[in-house]
């Protein structure tokens, strides 16, 4: 029988850092933090996290993955944290993934936590079936915060700039031939590091880029360190919400110039066409399970501001039948349209053909299911992925390729999206 004890906090930010240090003692960790991002009116929790696995499902192969997860989910009445990796697409459609994967994350991982921690309004709630909650609170409070400098890292791109530009132009040829309308094309930057502290990197990243869906996730020797600004799908009661991002422009320190950049993004025909194509794709995905006549675009082309970039985000909502299983809802939507393209299946085939690295957890999704039948999942972008066994550290960034894409500008957009990750890890890109 689980019990919950609440404690008042005088220094919330400091306590969060102590939780992060304390999390090192667990092999399964999921920390989801909104960083008090005021523009997100849909989030249920300011901060929610799970530590240790009472029960878990960890799969390395995609076959029947969603059915196996459904069985795990149906036999649980507690909070469940976990992730869907991008290559679960192969469990949904007749697709393959043969690109190189040096990170080796399980294709799917979900767990019921030993300890559930929720922070709201300067109060922390700790829930567990164990009898040591006061001891756990004291353990967290006695953690010593260490945020030492990170050794400089040099990331190697898998594409040279010329290769990247040539590939973008090949994708545009597919668009001209009518194969696709849009494809999200990504590239990996990697490094083999002698020393790397995931906790310090996460603290640096959320300081530089405090986004509404930031994540620190650990499964055994593998880490996700994420400053993602994007929500994939959320369900509250019968209402489902998806918020795809399509449209990016850099920030400027000068207020007047920064406002001008927002105006530029709002009127950029290429960015508008990108966004509306993905909105249509998401509407079609949601229509697979939505009650007839309930799919609605609540926000179209709305500009949201983050520390490094302005983003164009649209919000699609719908009502879902109460009998629809939550795992089936996510399967109907997965992978998210903002990370694939349109038409979705053909775009995914071309992504596999032209990208050099397996996406793995990148452009997958992390989140939680709660006991009430609600859930919230992000899109894994603006993220570092690290395997501490083989010391492999990488990130991927990409952009939407359309008929109006300029390959040089798409390359520069990738570098803008990488900016916070490079700052957080004291890094540079070789020949970049």
The domains located in the chain, with CATH, are 3-429 (3.60.120.10)
φ/ψ region of 64 (left if φ > 0, alpha if ψ in -120 to 50, else beta) reads: left
Is the N-terminal amide bond of 343 cis, ω within 30° of 0?
yes
CA-based nearest residue to 180, from 333, 363, 405: 405
User: How much is the pLDDT for 322?
Assistant: 84
Which residues does residue 30 pair with via DSSP β-bridges, in sequence order? 50, 217
Which of helix, strand or coil describes residue 73? helix
Show the tokens assigned to 342. 């349109």
Residues present in the chain in total: 432
Torsion on CA atoms 387, 32, 317, 322, rounded to nearest 10: 100
Alpha carbon of 132 to those of 114, 115, 126, 138: distances in Å? Answer: 11, 10, 10, 10
User: How much is the pLDDT for 38?
Assistant: 85
Show the tokens assigned to 269. 């025909």
CA-derived radius of gyration, the chain: 21
CB of 309 closer than 8 Å to CB of 271: no
Give dist(CA 209, CA 203) in Å, integer: 10
Is the N-terminal amide bond of 139 cis, ω within 30° of 0?
no
Q: How many CB atoms lie within 10 A of CB 382?
A: 27
| Structural element, H or E, at residue 264 | helix 255-266
Give the burial string for 348-379 (b: 16+ CB within 10 Å, else e).
bbbbbebbebbbbbbbbbbbbbbeeeebbbbb
Show the tokens assigned to 337. 């349209």
Show the tokens assigned to 123. 């109060």
Residue 94 main-chain phi, psi, to 5 deg: -80, 75
Give dist(CA 205, CA 422) in Å, integer: 9
Give dist(CA 183, CA 174) in Å, integer: 10
Which of helix, strand or coil describes residue 427? strand
User: How much is the pLDDT for 198?
Assistant: 95
Which residues does residue 317 pair with via DSSP β-bridges, in sequence order? 241, 296
Show the tokens assigned to 329. 């809802």
Give dist(CA 351, CA 360) in Å, integer: 13
CB of 388 closer than 8 Å to CB of 222: yes
Q: Tell me which residues of the chain have a pLDDT lower than 50.
A: none
> Cα dihedral sign for 110, 112, 117, 120?
positive
- Range list of β-strands (E), 27-158: 28-33, 47-59, 80-84, 108-120, 123-128, 153-157
User: How much is the pLDDT for 335?
Assistant: 97
| Structural element, H or E, at residue 310 | strand 309-319
């Amino acid at each position: 029988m689980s019990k919950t004890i609440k404690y008042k906090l005088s220094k919330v930010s400091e306590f969060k850092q102590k939780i992060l240090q304390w999390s090192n003692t667990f092999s399964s960790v999921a920390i989801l933090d909104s960083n008090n991002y005021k523009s997100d009116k849909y989030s249920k929790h300011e901060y929610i996290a799970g530590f240790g696995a009472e029960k878990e499902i960890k799969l390395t192969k995609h076959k029947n993955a969603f059915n196996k997860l459904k069985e795990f989910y149906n036999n649980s009445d507690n909070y469940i944290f976990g992730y869907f990796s991008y290559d679960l697409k192969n469990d949904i459609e007749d697709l393959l993934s043969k690109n190189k994967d040096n990170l080796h994350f399980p294709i799917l991982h979900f767990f019921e936590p030993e300890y559930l921690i929720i922070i709201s309004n300067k109060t922390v709630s700790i829930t567990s079936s164990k009898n040591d909650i006061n001891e756990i609170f004291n353990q967290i409070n006695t953690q010593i915060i260490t945020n030492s400098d990170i050794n400089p890292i040099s990331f190697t791109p898998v594409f040279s700039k010329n290769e990247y530009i040539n590939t973008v132009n090949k994708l545009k040829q597919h668009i001209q031939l009518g194969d696709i309308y849009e494809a999200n094309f990504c590239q990996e930057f990697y490094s083999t590091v002698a020393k790397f502290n995931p906790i310090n990197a996460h603290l640096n990243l959320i300081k530089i880029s405090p986004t509404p869906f930031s994540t620190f996730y650990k499964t055994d020797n593998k880490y996700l360190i994420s400053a993602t600004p994007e929500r994939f799908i959320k369900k509250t009661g019968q209402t489902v919400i998806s918020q795809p991002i399509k449209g990016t422009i850099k920030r400027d320190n000068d207020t007047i110039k920064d406002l001008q950049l927002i105006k530029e993004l709002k009127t950029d025909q290429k960015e508008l066409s990108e966004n509306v194509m993905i909105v249509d794709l998401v509407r079609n995905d949601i229509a697979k399970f939505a009650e007839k006549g309930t799919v609605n675009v609540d926000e179209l082309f709305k500009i949201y501001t983050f520390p490094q970039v302005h983003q164009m985000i649209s919000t699609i909502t719908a009502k879902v039948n109460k009998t629809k299983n939550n795992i089936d809802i996510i399967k109907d939507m997965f992978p998210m349209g903002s990370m694939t393209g349109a038409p979705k299946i053909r775009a995914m085939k071309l992504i596999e053909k032209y990208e050099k690295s397996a996406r793995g957890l990148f452009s997958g999704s992390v989140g939680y299911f709660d006991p009430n039948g609600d859930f919230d999942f992000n899109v894994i972008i603006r993220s570092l992925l690290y395997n501490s066994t083989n010391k492999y550290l990488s990130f991927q960034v990409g952009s939407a390729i359309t008929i109006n894409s300029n390959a040089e500008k798409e390359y520069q957009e990738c570098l803008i999206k990488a900016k916070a990750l490079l700052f957080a890890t004291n890094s540079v890109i070789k020949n970049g």
